[in-house]
Chain A
Amino acid sequence: MILGILVLFFFICLSLILLSVKIFVSGETEAQKILVEQKEKELLAPQMQALQQNLTNFNQTLFQLESFYQNQFKITKTLEQISTVFPSEIYLTNLSVSPQIKEEGGWQTSYNISGFSPDRDKLLKLKENLDKQGSFQEVYFPPVSWMKIANINFTATFKSK
């Protein structure tokens, strides 16, 4: 009988302890909810919203500027590259450069050149130099450019990656 009362008393005490723990945890949760609501209101305040908007705009602008400068097409660099492939005595009368953005990013540039070569050998050397230059591809001289042995007015097209 006494043992029964003791065990029952133990369970009643345990229930009371658990009840007080439950009340404490619920109270804490409610307090946290109120704090969260306060902070949310603080964040939704017009001043904070404006600041958040400024931060987003600032980050976006920096990202866009970084991307612009990284992908900027440097035409002087390509002109310098072209000038290295010309043998002496060959000169250009016209050069046209059209850069285009590739779908996968980066640039592909198309070149149209026309010029004068004193003889065929120098023109062959120019073609060889363009082919050897790693950054140029699809080098094409129309057949008419090879017809004359000397005083050749040539045209050519090529692309760069």
Chain B
Amino acid sequence: MKIEKKTNISIIIFLSLIIFIIVFVICPLIGEIKKSSQGLISEKNKLSVLEEQINSLGRFKILYKNLEEILEKIDGLFVNKEVPVDFIGFLERTADKSSVDIEVSPLSGGQTDTDPWPFLVFQITVDGSFLQILSFLEKMENSPYLVEIQNLTISQTSGEKTPSGNVKASFSFKVFAK
């Protein structure tokens, strides 16, 4: 009877100890491992994102050196806002090439919310045949500047109602500047 009682007591003690270990040691440890693992995964993800960012910046750094030519070309697309002499020279050369007489009126400038860059507005009057004016407009559209024609009026210069003869085109346009 005594041995049986002793055995029962020892079983109870062992079971209590095992339950104690499971409840107060193993379960919290598993919980903490789970939490730490999630933290580790998130830190690893953060690290890989940062590494990718640094790598792409490194690649861009090398590329940027080779892009200088393109960047210069992009800069050349914009008219100098303070001294637009180059652009006015371009207008005069284009007029010469198209054999038209040109008159550039005073300009204004600004920037609106819908425009990506600041701009200058020019008002131009051109005299020539319709085909010459068309050639001038085509050269303007395909110019190395960012030109946006706002309105155009073409009218006959002489009072004669003949299909031939010179016409006068007056138009205003935006040219983007920096």
Residues of A within 8 A of B (CB): 1, 4-5, 7-8, 11-12, 14-15, 18-19, 21-22, 25-26, 28-29, 32-33, 35-36, 39-40, 42-43, 48, 51-52, 54-55, 58, 61, 64-65, 67-68, 72-76, 79, 89, 91-99, 101, 116
Contact = CB atoms under 8 A, between A and B. Distances in A.
Contact of B57 (A32, A52, A79): A52
Interface string B15-30: 0011001100110011
Interface residues of B, number: 55
A36 B57 contact: no
A68 B33 contact: no
Contacts of A92: 154
Given A72-B148, A91-B163, A65 B74 contact: yes
B50 interface: yes
A4 B14 contact: yes
B21 A19 contact: no
A122 to B, nearest CB: 13
Which are the 6 A-B pairs with shortest beta-carbon distances?
A: A32-B43, A4-B14, A39-B50, A91-B163, A25-B36, A18-B29
18 contacts: A4-B10, A8-B21, A11-B22, A26-B36, A32-B40, A39-B50, A39-B51, A40-B50, A43-B50, A51-B60, A61-B74, A67-B116, A74-B141, A89-B163, A95-B153, A96-B152, A97-B152, A99-B149
Given A11-B18, A18-B33, A101-B114, A43 B53 contact: yes
A25 B161 CA distance: 93
Contacts of B14: 4-5, 7-8
Contacts of A14: 26
B32 interface: yes
B66 interface: no
B37 interface: yes
Contacts of B36: 22, 25-26, 29
A6 to B, nearest CB: 10
B4 to A, nearest CB: 13
Nearest to B170: A96
Nearest to B44: A32
A93 B162 CA distance: 9
B97 interface: no
A105 to B, nearest CB: 11
A97 B91 CA distance: 21
Contacts of B146: 65, 68
Contacts of B144: none
Given A11-B22, A32-B40, A51 B50 contact: no
B61 interface: yes
B32 A55 contact: no
Contacts of B150: 98-99
Given A11-B26, A19-B29, A116-B161, 18 more contacts: A8-B18, A18-B25, A22-B36, A25-B33, A25-B37, A28-B40, A35-B43, A36-B50, A51-B60, A65-B77, A68-B116, A68-B146, A92-B154, A94-B154, A94-B155, A95-B155, A96-B151, A98-B151
